[in-house]
Amino acid sequence: MVLIGTLTCAPLTAFPQVKNHAQAVAGLKHSGAAERADAVAWLATHGSMADQPLLLARLRDEDEDVRITAEQGLWVLWMRSGDAVIDRALAQGSALMAAGRLPESIAIFSEIIRRRPAFAEGWNKRATAYFLAGDYERSLADCAEVIKRNPRHFGALSGYGQIYFRLERFDKAIDYWRRALRVNPNMTGLEENIEAAERLLREKGARTI
């Protein structure tokens, strides 16, 4: 599952033919899949949040490699705040979270939020840390802050589903997983999650009759 953005992005492919933003935008419509993937990678690495709709559209590209690059590219884009100090802190907090040092990671993410409240990924990472710590109410609150700033953040939408599943709110889990799939149809694991939640919801309903 996508744990509200714990994904570690693999290095994006090279983009030797793309020299600037205009070429990247034009490259998204190239007939060659490799050229489209290069264009996506350039925008993810050098673009801004204004380019997010372009990358989101490539989640529905006819070529699988382009779709994969677009998904990875969106994470790369989201994790860039525009401030090198904040970005280093985000990487440090993420490493601590991966090592299970949750209180320390939460402290770093909280400082990022204090200094850069408009940066959605600071909230997203803290939501993840709270989830891993079992603090679902705080995780839900931080997910809400992510969606306020980036309504199409499929990682946070998926994370919402995971939290509600843990809380046995299966109807809400299904709703958020479906919302995540509407943004990113490549999250095929969510379809299995939805089936499991639907089965549990039916069983829960049967017990109340």
- Judge whether residue 14 has pLDDT over 80: no
Of 13-27, 53-67, 79-93, 155-169, the least confident: 13-27
Q: What is the pLDDT of residues 127-147, one digit of tens each?
A: 999 999 999 999 999 999 999
| Span 144-171, average pLDDT | 97
pLDDT at residue 34 greater than cutoff 90: yes
| Confidence check: pLDDT of 154 > 90 | yes
Reply yes or no on whether the pLDDT at 3 is more than 90.
no
- The secondary structure of 167-196 as a DSSP string is TT-HHHHHHHHHHHHHH-TT-THHHHHHHH
What is the set of domains in the chain, with CATH numbers?
Answer: 21-78 (1.25.10.10), 82-138 (1.25.40), 152-209 (1.25.40)
- The tokens of 68 are what? 């994969």
- Which pLDDT score is estimated for 118? 97
Cα separations in angstroms, 120 against 11, 79, 123, 163: 22, 9, 5, 18
> Per-residue pLDDT averaged across 2-24, rounded?
66
Per-residue confidence band for 4, with pLDDT thresholds at 50, 70 and 90: very low
**Mean pLDDT over the full length of the chain:** 92
State yes or no: pLDDT of 63 exceeds 80: yes
The amino acid that residue 58 corresponds to is: R
Kindly indicate the confidence band of residue 44, based on its pLDDT and cuts at 50, 70 and 90. Answer: very high
Q: What is the pTM of this model?
A: 0.91
Burial profile 17-48: b = 16 or more Cβ within 10 angstroms, e = fewer: ebeeeeebbebbeeeebebbbbbbbbbbbebe
Single-letter residue type at 63:
D
Question: For position 6, what pLDDT does the model report?
Answer: 42
Q: What is the pLDDT of residue 47?
A: 94
Total number of residues shown for the chain: 209
- The pLDDT value recorded for residue 5 is 40
Which pair of tokens denotes residue 130?
């709270």
